[in-house]
Amino acid sequence: MSTSTSKSPAKTIDARGLFCPEPVFRTKIEMERLAIGDMLKVVSDDPESEEDISRWVKRSGHELLSLNKSQKDLEFIIKKAK
């Protein structure tokens, strides 16, 4: 995982207030809509999202470019690989 990205995400999902499996489900739907190479930003406050989304990204063959944690939120930047 790198912490820098060269371009802005094509789309942002605000999944705060949603709990498993909803953040992963919404991430999957939005990733299907993006073109290969596009990035998706996902913001979630569900602590389970760190493991759930990271695992889904790896399993689905995409690339987790960054994961930033603040006091309440997790921010994922995911690059569509296929």
Catalytic residue among 20, 50, 54, 63: 20
DSSP state of 49: H
For residues 59 and 1, which has the higher predicted lDDT (pLDDT)? Answer: 59
Beta bridge partners, 42, equal: 13, 76
Beta bridge partners, 76, equal: 42, 67
Could you state, in order of their start, the residue ranges of all structural domains in the chain?
11-79
Q: Which CATH architecture has domain 11-79?
A: 2-Layer Sandwich (3.30)
Number of continuous H segments (helices) and E segments (strands) in the chain: 2, 4
Secondary structure (3-state) at 14: strand
pTM equals 0.89
Q: How far is CA 25 from the centre of its chain?
A: 11
| pLDDT on residue 6 | 58
Tell me what percent of the residues of the chain surpass a pLDDT of 90: 88
Q: Catalytic site residue 20? A: yes
